[in-house]
Structure 1
């Protein structure tokens, strides 16, 4: 249901936390004033917005939101794709009508977003041209997970001589990390549930179930040992990798900090990383599974599905 606010100008829809932070039930589809592109910015008419675990993690309560510098009223979501419909003073890289994608920090699930051009994945947002042949729903699923995966792969630097253990391989970041490591020539063993085995094989990974006994199962799959590891969920995979003799210099985490292990952060991805990922997807060399799409007025159901952490692929909101 859409709620309205008083305004003397045109309005558009935005999913927001208005009265409080919290779970999906706290989100409201709200009418807000159409934002204006300032100097060095572009306004994008959003057609699709992809969801990520961080979207609900950082807005789960007031304390979490404050740690990320968020206050009420607050938007929701980070990844978007759409079409430039206004260009601010001084912007020369983009024109009205350009198809684009990128990140808009905690405000992407809206009819319009204003972002810096070209910008950075952080709070000012960023914008990139959508390659020919890449549909908006897929482009809307790239920014956070793609940049984080690229950063993680850069830390461990896998190659043809490596056997890489990926914890949480079936998650949003894992989908990208597994395929990027495979494109680099590495053999990948990916942890997941028994139900995710076929999905992991489709990405090019050798599946292994997580949980007690993981080290023994990995030894059976890699009798010559593993040489690198990334934990995309917590720290269990790091502990197993250390047990199997992987040096700290060849490991990374994204969700937890471990002494001696260099963490990976999508904000620190190499320049051009997300454009390269988009190019690989457009060329069919990297797959982005879309698990489900929802119209924006079903945002509660979409967030509940994504927050359950059992979905195999991305959840995307349609705003066109």
Structure 2
């Protein structure tokens, strides 16, 4: 029987387990994918704790995960465009990707370019469309300056690259251990912590036009203190501050059809125009260890599960 991540109640990492489950059967317009890799994301950890139960109600036992890449194993009736043996990447809205087999709607899949690794393909959807949506939300123009917090994290590391592609000057807030990587991607690195506002002003003497917050913890207030207009501030992490100050919370919701954006991002990666750093890869059985590393919140790039 195939295996999948499951949990029976809200809680910490210790509620996670890997169970044997019934083999999924594809319905009309669905395909069954043998998962090669599946990404993990902070939002999944928050949902697991129950902190977002009003927004994302759960039915137990619950699965987990959205991102995946793999090989089509079986196609349901009415499926066109995908056949058994196809290498694909995509997503599921059923919290089910952290598994050996996953059912997917054909509209949530795209073909995997040959030169995109399984690790990158399987962890691209959530961070990719979120970064794409956040960058588009702040409407960057060539010659403007944008600050991005959490600039070396899963979303931030893609957001800084996509922002650079607009012709904007990008200032990335990150720990000093990630400054070399940011510099190599055309980003001005600045350490977070005491005095960060002064360091940003010194790096941007003409002012800051936009701010993308991928971390939370007071960065919306920092953006306002820097004089950034509310409609040019986007946070994917601090919804209380967004409600209080009226700033944007666009992320994946701004990305439109997810598979279309996913295909666009995969093509950029295949052509060498976009890099997805991979921090670590864990076997599915070590899902608890993977989330332990993730929840330290100092990861450079993506953590990936390999069933």
TM-score, structure 1 as length reference: 0.89
Matched with 1:115 is 104
2:64 is the alignment partner of 1:76: yes
SS in 2 for 1:261: coil
2:153 is the alignment partner of 1:171: yes
Matched with 1:213 is 195
SS in 1 for 2:126: helix
User: Match for 1:152 among 134, 150, 162?
Assistant: 134
Distance in 2, matches of 1:264 and 1:142, equals 18
Distance in 2, matches of 1:98 and 1:159, equals 38
Distance in 2, matches of 1:162 and 1:270, equals 25
CA RMSD between the two structures: 1.5
SS in 2 for 1:58: helix
How many residues are aligned here?
300
Superposed, 1:206-285 pairs within 5 Å as: 206-234=188-216, 236-257=218-239, 258=242, 259-271=245-257, 272-285=260-273
Cα distance, 1:239 vs structure 2: 1.9
- The CA deviation string for residues 208-261 of structure 1, in whole angstroms up to 9 with x for no partner, is 122232211111111111111111111623322222222122221111231321
Cα distance, 1:21 vs structure 2: 2.6
Runs of at least 4 residues off by over 6 Å: none
Distance in 2, matches of 1:191 and 1:161, equals 19
Superposed, 1:1-320 pairs within 5 Å as: 11-18=1-8, 20-61=9-50, 64-65=52-53, 67-105=55-93, 106-118=95-107, 126-234=108-216, 236-257=218-239, 258=242, 259-271=245-257, 272-319=260-307
Which consecutive residues of structure 2, in runs of 5 or more, have no partner in the other structure?
A: none
Say if 1:175 and 1:203, in contact at 8 Å, map to a contact too.
no
Distance in 1, matches of 2:20 and 2:106, equals 25
Say if 1:166 and 1:237, in contact at 8 Å, map to a contact too.
no
Distance in 2, matches of 1:128 and 1:65, equals 30
Say if 1:191 and 1:207, in contact at 8 Å, map to a contact too.
yes
Cα distance, 1:65 vs structure 2: 4.2
Which consecutive residues of structure 1, in runs of 5 or more, have no partner in the other structure?
A: 1-10, 119-125
Distance in 2, matches of 1:49 and 1:215, equals 37
Cα distance, 1:273 vs structure 2: 1.8
